[in-house]
Amino acid sequence: MKPTLKEEIQQAVELSAECPAAFIETVAVVEMFGSKVAWEGVVDVFDLKGHPKAKRAYGWAYRDGTENRFVAVLEIPPVDSANTAVRLAIAQKAQK
């Protein structure tokens, strides 16, 4: 059976964090840049079990053509929420 999108996001978080993750909640995030929406979507929040630096992680998926892409961000300062995780991902993507 094919995994659900939420399961695929959890797998991406676990791969990135290199430890087990337990789903906590889904949070709606709208990130503005001036008066325009820079990003809008939902972010899944996970508790990490056994990570040396982070207790939580944030993950989401987006479409790139016909494929799903996954983003996983660990809650390591300055990241302290789903919103700051999205901000960090946007900033990192802009630097590439």
Number of domains the chain contains: 1
Token representation of residue 22: 């337990």
- CA–CA separation, 51 vs 14, rounded Å? 10
Q: What is the full per-residue pLDDT of the chain (96 aa) written as tens digits?
A: 889 999 999 999 999 999 999 999 999 999 998 899 999 999 999 999 999 999 999 999 999 999 999 999 999 999 999 999 999 999 888 887
The pTM of this model reads 0.93
Residue 9, domain extent: 5-95
Q: Which pLDDT score is estimated for 2?
A: 87
pLDDT at 94: 80
CA distance 71 to 59: 5
